[in-house]
Structure 1
Amino acid sequence: MSRTLQLAEQLISRPSVTPEDAGCQQILGERLAALGFRLETIEGGPADFRVTNLWAVRPGSADATSARTAAFAGHTDVVPTGPIEQWRSHPFTPTHRDGRLYGRGACDMKTSLAAFVVAIEEFLAATPEPRLTLALLLTSDEEGPARDGTVVVCDTLAARGERIDYCIVGEPTSVERCGDMIKNGRRGTLSGKLTVKGVQGHIAYPHLAKNPVHALAPALAELVAINEAGGWDAGNAFFQPTSWQVSNIHAGTGASNVIPGSAVIDFNFRFSTESTPESLQQRVQAVLDSHGLDHTLSWTLGGLPFLTTPGELVEAVQQAIRDETGIETELSTSGGTSDARFIARICRQVIEMGPVNASIHKIDEHIAVAEIEPLKNIYRRTLERLEALLPT
């Protein structure tokens, strides 16, 4: 059994459902401390939702003018298992079947964490005194609300003036083979809750009431038309056009003979770097105003878009994947959000790269055992290439 596989199994066996860490960070921290890393635990959240974060750093030997910090980042928490009886084996008992390792977190993302640490161990064994500063950022609040996790660590580092130059987030980004896709950016997410006010009344006497659903319908149709026409923005070379989608509409008392007093619609933008939260809010507000709706509208910004254009980190990862697997990887900004959106505030180059994502969050989550060592080797090769960029 490889050391990466062994460590991955140790982590999978810990039932670290958000916000629990269940000792995962201690396991990883002990391995890092033995390599000379300085460990800092940062906790957050209310008493009934305590989040554990780990920031680990090993300073390099480069002088101040050429110093660079390369970090790995990820989460030790996992999503709930779902009905345990539907799993072929217990989700927190690492199990092998047909060349695959099964268990909650096998793909998202405990194998990546194990690969991080073993890659660092091998890199330092070959380069005991690197010029590159190495770091690892871990949280137990990525699969949950993400209010007390990576964002808190990044805010702490920003307040101290600490920077990261390169960061690889171990999210499962691959599609068919390890390394066939990396994320060099993600769209932003902006949610809105619109409440249109009416006057409740008997459905047989509509002249004594005001139906908010009827009032909302023309404005909703206009917003849908803008979206279908791709009218929010055109996207760019890295991003698809901004998308707007309704997630819920609710009105009524449950009775078929009552005109509702209000209608509520929940919607979400996934937006490119061609739009800003302010520009999208203004567009929506203009539509609502043009229809004279009596309404309230609240906004929640879940994350800004980020983009790492091809440069030192992207090229280092691409070459590491090429050397290890022969694959020419695809750059993508598709999919949902990740903690990379917080890291991008303090790091000029951030990418996501990890295992095949077909089974994440599913019953019988798994990873092909044959892809575990290549994943670790890609991480190690990336460190080697970043080290080689620094002047001697």
Structure 2
Amino acid sequence: MPPIDPVALTADLVRCPSVTPDEGGALVLLEKVLSAGGFTCTRVDRGDVSNLYARWGRRGANRTFGFNGHTDVVPLGDEAAWTMPPFGAEIKDGYLYGRGSTDMKSGVAAFAAAAIDFVAETPPDGAIVLAITGDEEGDAVDGTTALLDWMRDNNEAMTVCLVGEPTNPSVMGEAMKIGRRGSMTAWFTITGKQGHAAYPDQARNPMPAMARLMDVLSSRALDEGTDHFDPSSLQVLTIDTGNPATNVIPAQTKACVNIRFNDAHDSTALTTWMQEEADKVAEDFGVQIDMRLRVSGESFVTPPGDLSDLVGKAVEAETGRKPILSTTGGTSDARFVKDHCPVVEFGLVGKTMHQVDERVSVEQIGQLKSIYRRILTDYFAAD
């Protein structure tokens, strides 16, 4: 079959309105393209989420190169603010416009195109896997985790994995990611006793307690950074009381904080610390403090070595830039893959992801396919 055009495939995927968790036809399209390229495809749907597992080569091969990505996209935002059709995949001035064009349908298209061409021209001694989810931008409960669960139950495995999220701040080749910070969110509800502002002795104001707790939590320096990470950070996101009166002490106030933490911590230790501080404040002020948590992911790092060297050399060969090893940014599905096999991330420039008029350089899509193709070539050529 002729070489797969990654730009055309990106455009076809962008035309699929796959706002999370709607499949939108994107995985149906990928299954058709990959099946025609010799990949065995299996839908691994769970709950309301659609996922696709595609493998070329035999199960249990001596080595299997895996790729993880997603076809779901974030909502459009203010559709009237778009100057190009958000699902039109129109090309203007060298850019392909559309929701998901950068994050990350172009990455999926580039890897699928590279993999199909590679196995057709130089069938490797090993296997290639694409694990594509429709639930990365949403709750991420039934997406990549469902794929990994299915792989475990069916004796499928990746030796190493590349996640194709955008990793470059400004130009191709700047950075690859070898880890991610952990992320957790805590909601605090402090309950006192409502009363008249002129008679504070007959009330129990929760506001000073909340001010104290937020100050204690946000003032602490969690660490000074580690070998691969910047310092951890706790940010107060909101304090809400909803009290329109000027003469009423409120009964309750709420607040939310988010922590982005490095590999000096885990969510269990941070939870214990916040609970201890909340208990102290509750005792000091005579109020009740309830804490609710959500952990989006733990901090992790893939130590620099064979995998990061493989990707870094391919990037440098194709772009002339040696990518720095980064751990910045939010969370990605690499936080799930790291429990299965070594994982790194490399993708396009992410300047416009999630924005109105999201767009991707047409030239960079072709460049990314070349990088992925070289990675596959070098991986299977190694002894």
Taking structure 1 as the reference length, the TM-score comes to 0.92
**Counterpart in 2 of 1:384?**
377
1:340-378 per-residue CA deviation (whole Å, 9 max, x = no partner) reads: 11111111x111111111111111111111111110011
**What's the offset of the Cα at 1:219?**
2.7
Matched residue SS, 2:278? helix
Retained in 1: the 8 A contact 2:190–2:290? yes
Distance 1:274 1:158 in 2: 30
Retained in 2: the 8 A contact 1:192–1:267? yes
Distance 2:203 2:180 in 1: 45
Retained in 2: the 8 A contact 1:185–1:307? yes
Distance 1:31 1:96 in 2: 22
**Counterpart in 1 of 2:184?**
190
Query: Could you tell me which of 349, 356, 360 is aligned with 1:367?
Result: 360
Distance 1:26 1:203 in 2: 62
Matched residue SS, 1:51? coil
The aligned runs of 1:108-257 (5 Å cut-off) are 108-128=103-123, 130-226=124-220, 230=221, 232-257=222-247
**Counterpart in 2 of 1:262?**
252
1:85-112 per-residue CA deviation (whole Å, 9 max, x = no partner) reads: 2212211111121111111111111111
Retained in 1: the 8 A contact 2:189–2:254? yes
**Counterpart in 2 of 1:355?**
348
The aligned runs of 1:61-140 (5 Å cut-off) are 67-128=62-123, 130-140=124-134
Evaluate the alpha carbon distance shift between residue 359 and residue 95 of structure 1 in structure 2; reply closer, same or farther with a 3 A threshold. same
Distance 1:265 1:182 in 2: 35
Evaluate the alpha carbon distance shift between residue 2 and residue 59 of structure 1 in structure 2; reply closer, same or farther with a 3 A threshold. closer
Retained in 1: the 8 A contact 2:224–2:231? yes
Aligned length: 377
Query: Could you tell me which of 14, 20, 27 is aligned with 1:25?
Result: 27
**Counterpart in 2 of 1:329?**
323
Residue type of the alignment partner of 1:59: G
Retained in 1: the 8 A contact 2:107–2:348? yes
**What's the offset of the Cα at 1:114?**
0.9
**Counterpart in 2 of 1:290?**
280
**What's the offset of the Cα at 1:256?**
2.3
**What's the offset of the Cα at 1:121?**
1.7
Matched residue SS, 1:19? coil
Retained in 1: the 8 A contact 2:4–2:117? no
**What's the offset of the Cα at 1:34?**
2.4
Residue type of the alignment partner of 1:183: K
**What's the offset of the Cα at 1:22?**
1.4
Unaligned runs of 5+ in 2: none
**What's the offset of the Cα at 1:162?**
3.3
**What's the offset of the Cα at 1:299?**
1.6
Distance 2:58 2:27 in 1: 23
Evaluate the alpha carbon distance shift between residue 161 and residue 93 of structure 1 in structure 2; reply closer, same or farther with a 3 A threshold. same
Evaluate the alpha carbon distance shift between residue 219 and residue 80 of structure 1 in structure 2; reply closer, same or farther with a 3 A threshold. closer
**What's the offset of the Cα at 1:126?**
2.6
Distance 2:275 2:100 in 1: 42
Evaluate the alpha carbon distance shift between residue 85 and residue 252 of structure 1 in structure 2; reply closer, same or farther with a 3 A threshold. closer
**What's the offset of the Cα at 1:147?**
1.5
Retained in 1: the 8 A contact 2:4–2:116? no
Percent of matched pairs sharing the same residue:
40
**Counterpart in 1 of 2:40?**
38
**Counterpart in 2 of 1:57?**
55
2:276 is aligned with 1:300: no
RMSD: 1.8
Unaligned runs of 5+ in 1: none
Retained in 2: the 8 A contact 1:252–1:258? no
Residue type of the alignment partner of 1:22: G
Give the stretch that moved more between structures: 76-85 or 206-215: 76-85
Residue type of the alignment partner of 1:360: M
**What's the offset of the Cα at 1:286?**
2.2
Distance 1:60 1:378 in 2: 25
**What's the offset of the Cα at 1:30?**
1.7
1:6-62 per-residue CA deviation (whole Å, 9 max, x = no partner) reads: 1111111111111112111121112221233221111122xxxx210001112259x
